[in-house]
Amino acid sequence: MERDPAAVSVRRATADDLPFLRTLARRLVAFEGLTTRDPDAIVASSEDTLADAVERTLLGAPAVAVLVAEGGAGELLGCALVQQNVEYFTGEPEAYVAVLAVAEAAERRGVGRALMEGAEAWAVERGLSRLALEVFAANRGARSFYRRLGYVEDSLRLVRLL
């Protein structure tokens, strides 16, 4: 498929989007090299997290938003879950992208970029000057994508299974 960012629009998720959002959870583990996590547990947790966030958004919670990307014909392409957090070291409020997932058929069409722009706009609307996220170390494609958007690797989390 051709990349056409103009054909991608971003909006707030509705309850009708939940079945699609649940299918995207599997995309969060669609890379090689996941070492210390159970992919099925990640998928299940992400499905629950997205459903909870949509519910909180629909109830008017101001500190969370689930964004959905649509194509020109209304096709659902991806989602982002952004929320307001407190930065651990400074105690200052920041925006945090907890989930970014793009449907496999929509890869390389500007969907991820459009969703990240939506998350950034959401943060700016709330007066937040920092947007953070986490990415699995082995997810080279995602790390490269974020670098192209201007994100820098700020910390490194180490894990030892006991």
Chain position carrying tokens 């991820």: 112
Percent of the chain with pLDDT over 70: 96
CB distance 47 to 22 below 8 Å: yes
What are the chain's domains? 5-148 (3.40.630.30)
Rounded distance between C-alpha atoms, residue 25 and residue 88, angstroms? 26
> pLDDT tens for residues 107-133?
999 999 999 999 999 999 999 999 999
> Which residues, in sequence order, are CB contacts of 128 under 8 Å at separation 6+?
84, 93, 94, 95
The mean per-residue pLDDT over the stretch 92-107 comes to 96
Rounded distance between C-alpha atoms, residue 102 and residue 17, angstroms? 14
Greatest mean pLDDT range, 15-19, 29-33, 58-62: 15-19
